[in-house]
Amino acid sequence: MLIKNSWIETAIKIIILVLVLVFIIGVVRWSCSNSNLAIEETTKNAHN
């Protein structure tokens, strides 16, 4: 039982770490795409 519980705990920790990493990467990509869109809009407005 102790071995199974430790396995479950390590698996949960790994899953949480992966989810956190995916979340951080998604936020970074989302913010980068938003900043790129904002830059494109400002350049378009400047040209107009």
Query: Given a cut of 70, is residue 6 above it in pLDDT?
Result: yes
Look up the pTM and report it: 0.59
- Give Cα separations from 26 to 20, 29, 33, 40 (angstroms): 10, 5, 10, 21
Instruction: Give me the mean pLDDT over the 30-36 stretch.
Output: 81
Percent of the chain with pLDDT over 90: 40
Distances (CA, A) of 24 to 3, 28, 32: 32, 6, 12
